[in-house]
Structure 1
């Protein structure tokens, strides 16, 4: 079975994925990115975040599907660009916006949160509890919140060219958005950038709402993983099993 590496969103931690991983029967690991969770206090950079993902993939055998939400999706794109041989497929959720007109707003909000991170963390916790069912909200909060790292994250994401990253990656990409997610604003541009991409919309869900039904999300990710499972060769000629078609990266399409 192809393993999965899960990447969390901004200011939260790997624990946000616990309810989803609990519904999976395949190997899976959620990673704390720099400045978050068990790595709180560390500076955030895209290079260091990608290195953390690469190390997690290596721990799972050297090739895995990468699935990330929001910041995690952007880091997943950078990982696929830098380590295409390690990323068997990319599930990028809630991360198809690159609005330069909104960048100033994000920078202002990030600086404001970083001035009083304790207060910003309390506001974030309140928001998670209002937006999500209790188990999902608890998972978002369990690993701690890190609003102090927001300015570094905003600058790192703004400096990375996601469309170039997607165009460079030859493997399968699934862009998954809630139909009510404002971060789907540029999803068609992101889809066109993919060499082998598909857009999936989850009806009635917002940016965090995709986490509200962890069982359903687990089934979706598991189904996408099955599309890049390695095939077992049969016979002396090394032919793949019937119905196991190869994609551009040499794995099932």
Structure 2
């Protein structure tokens, strides 16, 4: 039986690189309509905080403040950059995370891959418009015009990518997953390219469901917003005491 909305933990949503809390508009509206308290934040150097430096400490302070405003314990949902940060945060502050939903972050941010992304970020930043046209065009192609509007509504952090990637390279998602003793759900799109190390993630938390959204790509919450929202609602029902609950059968699970 579904728990009363007042008994459900609130949801905190952490966005991807260069975008902002506006990417979660659809989820916040749907969760609120379902009676679930939901909050999306801007990370340092993103959204309303464009111009600030990015660091892990500053990012975790933003998450700390948001969790405090929500009562001290949340279902923590992060995608891409937000997924890496949420995993690291849960490993450092497990008592504040009732359930962790980590999405689109299943390549360990180290080595040649990370160096390549940082090099690309520096090259894009040297373009005359600092990559604005390229970012907008790729967003429309990846998620469609409506979702691209949500991505850009809070501003695009064109200058933050390299320093943000450098900071993410300091995280250790595999060790953090091992340190966090609460329930974890992994979510990815079937077409996501950030799945190179998914076996290591699953080995770190073999009991965690690995939910694959069909036909969805890296930005799964924007490509398949209704599906992603249903997964989050399932997670809210599963946390914090009904931790053995499984996601609905609407999506294939490899866990």
Mapped to 2, the partners of 1:117 and 1:30 lie a distance apart of 32
Correspondences of 1:145-184 after superposition (within 5 Å)? 145-184=156-195
Q: Which residue of 37, 53, 58 maps to 2:47?
A: 37
TM-score (norm 1): 0.87
SS of residue paired to 2:30: coil
Residue 180 of structure 1 deviates from its aligned partner by 1.1
Structure-2 residue corresponding to 1:226? 237
Residue 135 of structure 1 deviates from its aligned partner by 2.3
Q: Which residue of 8, 17, 42 maps to 2:15?
A: 8
Comparing 73-82 and 95-104, the one that deviates more: 95-104
Instruction: Tell me, yes or no, if structure 1 residue 57 matches structure 2 residue 64.
Output: no
Mapped to 1, the partners of 2:199 and 2:173 lie a distance apart of 13
- On the 8 A contact 2:106/2:194 being kept in 1, the answer is yes
CA RMSD of aligned residues (A): 1.8
Q: Flag the structure with larger Rg.
A: 1
Q: Which residue of 120, 126, 129 maps to 1:109?
A: 120
- On the 8 A contact 2:99/2:240 being kept in 1, the answer is no
Instruction: Tell me, yes or no, if structure 1 residue 81 matches structure 2 residue 88.
Output: no
SS of residue paired to 1:177: strand
- On the 8 A contact 1:166/1:195 being kept in 2, the answer is no
TM-score (norm 2): 0.86
Residue 191 of structure 1 deviates from its aligned partner by 1.5
Q: How many residues align?
A: 234
Residue 213 of structure 1 deviates from its aligned partner by 2.6
SS of residue paired to 2:131: helix
- On the 8 A contact 1:19/1:135 being kept in 2, the answer is no
- On the 8 A contact 2:220/2:228 being kept in 1, the answer is no
Mapped to 1, the partners of 2:25 and 2:203 lie a distance apart of 32
> Per the alignment, do residues 117 and 194 of structure 1 end up closer, same or farther by CA in structure 2, a change over 3 Å counting?
farther
> Per the alignment, do residues 73 and 245 of structure 1 end up closer, same or farther by CA in structure 2, a change over 3 Å counting?
closer
List gaps (5 residues or longer) in structure 1: 231-243, 248-253
- On the 8 A contact 1:95/1:183 being kept in 2, the answer is yes
For each residue in 1:29-52, what CA deviation from the matched residue of structure 2 results, as whole angstroms up to 9, or x when unmatched? 001000000110111111211111
SS of residue paired to 1:22: helix
